[in-house]
């Protein structure tokens, strides 16, 4: 069977329609991961009793579970067993958010450890308590450090959304496969999906690089002043 560029283009156009849903599910998952990942990182960084060990084991356990296993388990638990009336999109977001939370907590914890201890001492010496020190001194410094790794998490989430096809999500990959199932031209469909994923990853990398340059520029200005 000859490679059909025409069919590949047809699949490409069809899969483009699933880009907004794919990006939305990935962005929501990452956003939730940031919201919950930062507190987890702070608890582990300050070694708060009991909670520190609980979060340590939580991160260790979740890191050892493949995303596809997490997604299928939640789907069977929430929909098949508990009979909850929630959509496959919601299950996908829950699963990916759990994975994102562990990833973001490790990123933030590493960024916190990269801050020199003298920064904390200097803030405390001028009368700042823990909360103002975090808001005014620490968090502005860990943001630029975290941006490259945050980009990797976002890219990983976009690709991980494709696993949602196992529970009925019609994303970029699933749209391409459904089109190919009509005439079994899966190779063309895979190439079309790959082009879209490559384009999304490149655009996302460039966007994060622009944000990183902006932060670094502001930091350099602040140091000069």
Q: CA-based angle 106:112:117, to the nearest 5?
A: 150
pLDDT of residue 10: 93
pLDDT of residue 130: 76
7-50 pLDDT, tens digit each:
999 999 999 999 999 999 999 999 999 999 999 999 998 888 88
pLDDT of residue 225: 55
Query: What whole-number distance in Å separates Cα of residue 67 and Cα of residue 201?
Result: 19
- The pTM of the whole model exceeds 0.85: yes
pLDDT of residue 214: 84
| Cα 53 to chain centroid, rounded | 24
pLDDT of residue 27: 94
Structural domain spans, the chain: 1-18+172-225, 20-169
Is pLDDT at 202 greater than 70 in this prediction?
yes
Is pLDDT at 119 greater than 80 in this prediction?
no
Query: What whole-number distance in Å separates Cα of residue 42 and Cα of residue 45?
Result: 5
Contact criterion met (CB below 8 Å) for 176 and 14: yes
In the DSSP assignment, the letter for residue 49 is T
CATH 1.10.3720.10 applies to domain 20-169? yes
Confidence of residue 165 (pLDDT cuts 50, 70, 90): confident
Three-state DSSP at 1 gives coil
């Amino acid at each position: 069977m000859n490679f059909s560029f025409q069919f590949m283009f047809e699949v490409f156009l069809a899969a483009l329609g699933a880009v907004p849903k794919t990006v939305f599910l990935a962005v929501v998952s990452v956003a939730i991961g940031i919201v919950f990942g930062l507190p987890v990182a702070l608890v582990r960084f300050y070694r708060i009793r009991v909670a520190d060990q609980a979060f340590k084991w939580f991160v260790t356990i979740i890191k050892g579970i493949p995303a596809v296993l997490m997604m299928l388990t939640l789907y069977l638990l929430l929909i098949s067993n508990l009979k909850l009336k929630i959509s496959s999109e919601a299950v996908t977001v829950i699963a990916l958010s759990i994975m994102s939370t562990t990833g973001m907590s490790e990123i933030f914890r590493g960024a916190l450890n990269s801050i020199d201890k003298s920064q904390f001492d200097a803030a405390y010496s001028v009368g700042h308590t823990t909360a103002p020190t975090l808001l005014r001194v620490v968090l502005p410094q860990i943001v630029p450090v975290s941006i490259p790794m945050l980009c990797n998490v976002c890219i990983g989430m976009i690709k991980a959304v494709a696993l949602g096809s196992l529970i009925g999500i019609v994303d970029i990959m699933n749209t391409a496969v459904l089109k190919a199932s009509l005439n079994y031209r899966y190779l063309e469909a895979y190439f079309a999906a790959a082009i879209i994923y490559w384009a999304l990853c490149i655009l996302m990398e460039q966007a994060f690089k622009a944000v990183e340059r902006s932060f670094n520029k502001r930091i350099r200005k602040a140091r000069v002043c």
